Structure 1
Amino acid sequence: MAGSTILKPIVSKIYCSSSKAVLMVRKRPPNVNGGGLVVTDSTQKVVFSVDGCGILGAMGELIVRDGDGTAILFIHKRGGVVQALSIYNHWRGYLMDYDEPSKLVFSLLDPKSPLAMKNAVRILVEPKGRVKGWDFEVVGSFVERACTIKDRRGNVVAQMGAKDMMTRKDIYYVVMQPGYDQAFVIGVVAILDNIHGEATRC
């Protein structure tokens, strides 16, 4: 029953639906508001948007906004010597508080070497403390718009697919399972978009 769905908030419970939802993700061209992503629901209402380098002017930084344009999540790619020596790119997602990054809520590890690329993209929900060291993973191909986000028990959180073969690079859908945090999933999608040099990258 929908009423018994357990909500699993990461950004906020207000972004968790008790029923399955289909979100449409559309890439903004670089010459339209600096590029990025626009996310709509089944009624074509804008529920999220993502600003990237074209708007922020900084590489490796992303902002997820709600349907009203309020910044809710700041994401950045970690730099420095430790990062340079790692076989993973480290991304971190922070809640926004009065337009400033505040609490760290998740980290994403993206394999950057050919040897490590056989591994799935892994996501850790903060604070840490999990025995296995990760909470979610991305499997499949983002480039082909055929990937799935699963939790560490193998449960499907969200699935991405092409709207049609002609426009799959510009428009695709994300099927959200009940209870999971849609803002968090769009944050992960935004990172995948940036990793693959798409709408959020300059």
Structure 2
Amino acid sequence: MKAGLVVDDGYIYGEAKNLTVRKTSMFFAGDGFTVYDCKGSLVFRVDSYGGPDTRDNDEVVLMDAHGRCLLTLRKKRPSLRRRWEGYMGERSDGQKPIFSVRRSSVIGRCGATVEVYGNGRCEEYLIEGSFRQRTCTVVEADTRRKMAEIRRKVDSSTNVMLGKDVFSLNVKPGFDGAFAMGLVLVLDQISGDDFVEVGEEQVHPGSF
């Protein structure tokens, strides 16, 4: 597999990793998240980024379990399409982004395009499906290889599907889990926009 983005090599796993993502508030598009592994240990967190000051700045910070900043995600302005950029650690003035995410307007292709910068080249991933429905997939643009999947979570004891504030993030071997969670945060931000869903089938605006 070709080398992808490395936010932190501690989050690149040798086997598929199933993470449970819990939205900590439902008042705004994205108030916060906690992310746990299969043993119940905290892996990532995003605290109170839905507050007024943070939302005005259009900036989201992904932290590890100890509060260390892994990624800063920021909406690019101005932009013809809503575009977000990811920065390593705490973003500083003049720092260059390591990846960007933009919505696609090409019907029948994908919901969003991800471009990763580094080593003098640009790698591309596609995000297909519906984040609002918690059913979407990150694939390599050229090989169509699945890198990560977001799915509704089912309670193992009752076999009942849980609400959309709790869902699963499956990270494939060799893909950076911190990068994958950064993409989840961007999707959470753009999912509230009026947007034409594209992927396997066309659906109504606003469903991404």
Task: Please report the TM-score for the alignment, with normalisation by the length of structure 2.
Answer: 0.76
Match of 1:123 among 109, 114, 117: 114
Match of 2:150 among 139, 143, 160: 160
Gaps of 5+ in 2: 155-159, 194-208
Aligned counterpart, 2:198: none
Aligned counterpart, 2:135: 146
Q: 1:46 to 1:100 in 2, by over 3 A?
A: farther
| Aligned positions, number | 180
Give the alignment's Cα RMSD to 1 decimal.
Answer: 2.6
Q: 1:29 to 1:91 in 2, by over 3 A?
A: same
Deviations 1:30-76 (A, max 9, x none): 68xx9311111111111011242328523421100011111110001
Give 1 or 2: higher strand fraction.
1
Give the conservation status (yes or no) of the 8 Å contact 1:77–1:91.
Answer: yes
Give the conservation status (yes or no) of the 8 Å contact 1:66–1:72.
Answer: yes
Q: 1:68 to 1:123 in 2, by over 3 A?
A: same
Match of 1:68 among 48, 66, 69: 66
Task: Please report the TM-score for the alignment, with normalisation by the length of structure 1.
Answer: 0.78
Gaps of 5+ in 1: none
Give the conservation status (yes or no) of the 8 Å contact 1:163–1:173.
Answer: yes
Which structure would you say has the larger RCO, counting Cα contacts within 8 Å and 6 or more residues apart? 1
- Distance in 1 (CA, whole Å) between partners of 2:144 and 2:37 is 26
Deviations 1:140-177 (A, max 9, x none): 11111111100121110011111136533110001111
Q: 1:47 to 1:55 in 2, by over 3 A?
A: farther
Matched to 1:70, the amino acid is R
Give 1 or 2: higher helix fraction.
1
Q: Where does 1:23-102 land on structure 2 (aligned, <5 Å)?
A: 23-29=19-25, 35-51=31-47, 52-54=49-51, 57-59=54-56, 60-80=58-78, 83=79, 86=80, 88-97=81-90, 100=92, 102=95
Give the conservation status (yes or no) of the 8 Å contact 2:54–2:60.
Answer: no
Deviations 1:67-111 (A, max 9, x none): 11111100011112xx1xx2x2111000015x7474421011114
Matched to 1:49, the amino acid is R
Give the conservation status (yes or no) of the 8 Å contact 1:145–1:168.
Answer: no
Identity %: 27
